[in-house]
Structure 1
Amino acid sequence: MDDLDHRSLGPRLDLWHIQEDAPGMVFWHPRGHALYRVLENFIRGKMRRLGYAEVRTPQLLPLDLWMQSGHWEKFGAQMFALGEGERAMALKPMSCPCHVQIFNRNLRSWRELPLRYAEFGSCHRDEPSGALHGLMRTRGFEQDDAHVFCRADDVAGEVARFAALLSEVYAAFGFDAPEVSLSTRPQLRAGSDASWDWAEQALAEAARSCGLSYAIQPGEGAFYGPKLEFALRDRLGRSWQCGTVQLDSVLPERLGASYVAAHGARATPVLIHHAVLGSIGRFIAMLLEHHAGALPFWLSPDQVAVVPITRDQLDDALKLRELLFSAELRAVLSADGETLSRRIVAAHAASIPVVAVVGAREAAQGTVSLRERDGTTSVLTWDRAVSTLRERNRPPRGSVDRACGPDLD
């Protein structure tokens, strides 16, 4: 296995592991979970500013719901089911039917639309053992699911908002503009030909209106609607499908979703499904391989290793770490019995971007020596060091085309 394969990088950097007796299930270690939360909170902030309300839905649901939605017919062989008869249940493979249940709990007016829900939804799929591949393909995973309940006239604007969100997020992670594909109706599908004609045309027009060029992927749409798929190329030129936006007029009707239209009658909303990262674990695998394990400062699970030269500077090192904590920086203390050089080497081997060395002279002068991955050093006062590092702890703003939607910051 290549040393820069995420399956090697993850355990070596103490991020996660998978056991033989739990195939396809990920054990996230403290450092890996810290990285996981950085991604999650980054997306959470973007979604909140765009008007998405975050929800949380059950993982175990009645089998009847999945039969009604059509997921059991399409994905039943990949779903974990248990119980029989009225107690038959299944773990959710995706969150969309759950969001419809929330929508259906109240009588909705057209004035409430578009109504946007977001969830970091835990999903399970019984993938064949031969298909499992580190974080790339697992049986338990979490997606940044989002669903928009809207009217047909809202579709173009909502797709534009999503395209702008993708551009902003992918640029922040260091990727170039994604390659876009339009996946059209599969052979086995739900809904009438007329509904598919409308959905494919509406999605294509929405993509073109915000300047997206796309290739056609015949027959690769979801069973309930067409989708735009966004693929990223990593530093090795490999293409990874990440974001999707899907246009659906099938599930709302099957699951009884409706709202009171302006003319007073009931109408069925259009449902837009989308995800920016897709599986968060899979996206972490991509990031690790794309950056060869050396994640940018703002993404690194541990950003600063505070290293006292001797035990005499331990109290000062602890105070510096507390200052870094107060500035919302992720800092660790390295004060074990190893030599200074070995502790610095260990910090860089763990891909910690900055080593903050505190010696007797630094302690006396109120300074700290910052050592970067590339070997460069700088000596700064504590306040200056903290403010400089805090400034680096911001996702970069990429140069993106904002014609598709609002400035997300």
Structure 2
Amino acid sequence: MSEVIGIKHDNKIFDTQTAKQEGIKGQEIYFDNSADALSIIRHSCAHLMAQAIKELYSDAKFFVGPVVDEGFYYDFKTSSKITEEDLNVIEKKMKEIAKKALPITKETITKQEAIQKFLGDELKQVVMSKIPGDKFGVYRQGNFEDLCRGPHLPNTKLLHSFKLTKLAGAYLGGDEKAEMLTRIYGVAFADKENLNTYIHQLEEAKKRDHRKLGLEMGLFGFDEEIGAGLPIWLPKGARLRRRIEELLTRALIVREYEPVRGPEILKSSVWKVSGHYDNYKENMYFTVIDDVEYGIKPMNCVGHIKVYQSSIRSYRELPLRFYEYGVVHRHEKSGVLHGLLRVREFTQDDAHIFCQPSQIKDEVSNIIDFTRKIMGAFGFNYEMELSTKPSKSIGSDEVWQVATNALEDALKSNGIDYKIDVGGGAFYGPKIDIKITDAIGRKWQCGTVQIDMNLPERFNLQYTDKDNTYRQPVMIHRAILGSFERFVAILTEHFGGEFPFFIAPTQIVLIPISEEQIPYAQEIKKQLLSIGAYAEIMDKNETLNKKIRNAEKQRVPMIAVIGAKEVEERILSIRDRQSKTQYQIQEKEFLNMVEIKMKEVSF
């Protein structure tokens, strides 16, 4: 059995030293690659990195160094300019320190003692100002010490499988008006094998980076003159989006969803009723028109509530399912913007279902089934997570419990294994988050299903029940893709730009060998467009080999070469990129094959 490095008690993790000092007993955590163990390993590795930085740059001062999903980081400042090349130097120093097998010890001191200890360190003073209470933990290894609540490994000798991955800038405390600090990211594991697997994944991720591929393939772009976080969709990217929208729309109509559309700007008074003004204001954009404040919508729910209120509703109408590909705007700090994955304007595949409480389970079950079909079409594995009431919320505990129980019942009845994220719900209700796993093993947050009994109450939504009394409907917020922007980014990286035929922005490139074959290529293109497939003609004055190479760089699923023989016999010479085959096929048979391919996938 590997070494015990921590104790889990009451859903909190303590290092062995703290557990022993405070007499805490619970589940033992061993030095392995379990989530709890990695949290301790990575937290300790963050301090190891800080110690190495301090030895290399004596004037370095440190802010915070938390564990995050992708590993750990530390924010710090120094008068020296740190570059990507310095990461190898820091990593080498970390290995030297780790081999010294320095004991990692903890001391608990008062706030006043901590203030005196770090008197000349303005970053530590900021950290301490944000920590409540009078007891502060200080962890020490060798000549390095830092404020920290832990937990940590007992000794640096256990740290041997780590890698520094990225250098970035970060505003102090995330405040754009504060000074810029240096941030170094890293990752650590219990063994070399898992580290090497992760490094391979990082290298693969660089090749698949949607920002790089999006530029190469002409899918989307960003323009500083327009503004950060505001993507521009180029024709090929817009075609890709349109195809996903078409498939989704067809599936929504079959499932009896009704299209609606709400305005993109609404009076602030309505956002006050909804609770967004008090609970989400910092993420919204506002303007004043005729001395009245308006808020640009960060969500589509209020518009759909107004659609519901546009008519007197009866129980016979429920459930009512409204959908909208709604454009929303959210204020994201510039430091977290990341290609299409984190933007300030995006389009949600949003829907809201208004139903009776007794219909919740069936509606959520239908959404889960819908999710299965969509994720299956793209080849994604996925998992679901139930998020419960957060500290900042609206509505009574009783209403929250009813809504949470309804989601749990739907998950269990569908045989879904799920995790629970305590306190991770939306401010107005609990939710199920849909997390997908891509081709190289990364997990992405996409869709969500949220039960809301609070907004219907706030807006006094009603329907007439069988006994002619007024009842309040339940509102279900539902997005499966999450947003088209984020989903396209994930798809691009999942497939490495090699989109499957049914959604590829250009499905077929027609390459006439000479000008004489261009009219036949144009004829084929028109027929392909009529059956819903998109084709391009490469008719530049280039060699055949160069035309083929250019088409292959665009990762087009199918290339059709047209020469004199092909025109005479009305055939096409096909290079199928996905099956890696070459063959000749009659024109009519080719068009039939393409039409079948376009209809192979449905949600």
Structure-2-length-normalised TM-score: 0.65
Aligned residue among 369, 392, 398 for 2:573: 369
Taking the aligned partners of 1:27 and 1:147, their CA distance within structure 2 comes to: 28
8 A contact 1:60–1:90 mirrored in 2: yes
Name the counterpart of 1:269: 473
Check whether the contact 2:447–2:479 (CA below 8 A) recurs between aligned residues. yes
Report the equivalent of 1:382. 587
Does residue 423 of structure 2 align to residue 219 of structure 1? Answer: yes
Give matches, 1:44-63, under 5 Å: 44-63=249-268
Displacement of 1:3: 3.4
Name the aligned partner's letter for residue 438 of structure 2: D
What's the counterpart of residue 115 of structure 1?
A: 320
CA distance in 2, matches of 1:327, 1:42: 14
Give the counterpart letter for 2:431 in structure 1. K
Aligned mates of 2:393, 2:533 — CA distance in 1 = 49
Q: 1:230 aligns with which of 423, 434, 457?
A: 434
SS in 2 for 1:157: helix
How far is 1:30 from its partner? 0.3
The C-alpha deviation readout for 1:77-120, integer Å capped at 9, x for no partner, is 11010117852111100000110001001110111100110000
| Counterpart secondary structure, 1:277 | coil
Q: 1:239 aligns with which of 440, 443, 456?
A: 443
Q: Could you give the per-residue CA deviations for residues 189-214 of structure 1, whole angstroms, max 9, x where no partner exists?
A: 10011111111111111111111111
1:339 to 2:546 alignment = no
Task: Name the larger-Rg structure.
Answer: 2
Q: Say whether the 8 Å CA contact 1:172–1:395 is kept in structure 2.
A: no
2:282 match? 77
Counterpart amino acid of residue 406 in structure 2: A
Residue among 342, 348, 356 paired with 1:143: 348
Q: Is the 2:261–2:303 contact (alpha carbons within 8 Å) kept by the matching residues of 1?
A: no
Does 2:374 match 1:169? yes
Contact 1:96 1:273 in 2 (8 A): yes
**AA aligned opposite 2:373:** E
How far apart, in 1, do the equivalents of 2:390 and 2:294 lie? Answer: 28
Aligned to 1:159: 364
Q: CA deviation at 1:394?
A: 2.8
Q: How does 1:2-401 map to 2 (within 5 A)?
A: 2-21=206-225, 22-83=227-288, 87-176=292-381, 178-373=382-577, 375-396=580-601
SS in 2 for 1:278: coil
Unaligned runs of 5+ in 1: 398-407
Cα distance between partner residues in 1 of 2:568 and 2:290? 74
Alpha-carbon distance, 1:20 to partner: 2.3
Secondary structure of the corresponding residue to residue 23 of structure 1:
coil
Question: Could you tell me how far 1:220 is from its partner in structure 2?
Answer: 0.3
What is the distance in 1 between the residues matched to 2:291 and 2:452? Answer: 29
The letter of the residue matching 1:148 is I
Q: Does structure 1 conserve the Cα–Cα contact (< 8 Å) formed by 2:284 and 2:295?
A: yes
Alignment deviations for residues 41-78 of structure 1 (CA, whole Å, 9 cap, x no partner)? 11111111101001111101111111110011111111
Question: Residues of 2 paired with 1:10 and 1:62: CA distance?
Answer: 37
CA distance, structure 2, for counterparts of residue 209 and residue 68 of structure 1: 35
Query: Shift in Å at residue 261 of structure 1?
Result: 1.3
Name the aligned partner's letter for residue 229 of structure 1. D
Whichever residue aligns with residue 42 of structure 1, its letter is L
Residues 210 and 184 (structure 1), Cα distance of their counterparts in 2 relative to 1, 3 Å cut: same
| Partner in structure 2 of residue 401 of structure 1 | none
Question: 2:126 corresponds to which residue?
Answer: none
Q: Which amino acid aligns with 2:263?
A: P
Shift of 1:32: 0.4
Measured at CA, do residues 336 and 90 of structure 1 come closer, stay the same or move farther in structure 2, by a change above 3 Å?
same
Unaligned 5+ residue runs, structure 2?
A: 1-204
Amino acid paired to 1:36: R
Residues in 1 aligned to 2:530 and 2:348: alpha-carbon distance in whole angstroms? 30
- Which structure's relative contact order is higher, taking Cα pairs within 8 Å and 6+ residues apart? 1
Corresponding residue number in structure 2 for 1:404: none
In 2, Cα distance between the equivalents of 1:50 and 1:348? 38
The secondary structure found in structure 2 opposite 1:241 is strand
- Counterpart AA for 2:327: S
Q: Deviation of residue 297 (structure 1)?
A: 0.6
Cα drift, residue 349 of structure 1: 0.6
Matched residue count: 397
Q: Distance in 2 between matches of 1:127 and 1:322?
A: 43
Deviation at 1:395, TM superposition (A): 4.5
Does the Cα contact within 8 Å between 2:207 and 2:496 map onto a contact in 1?
A: no
Q: Tell me the distance in 1 between the aligned counterparts of 2:558 and 2:311.
A: 51
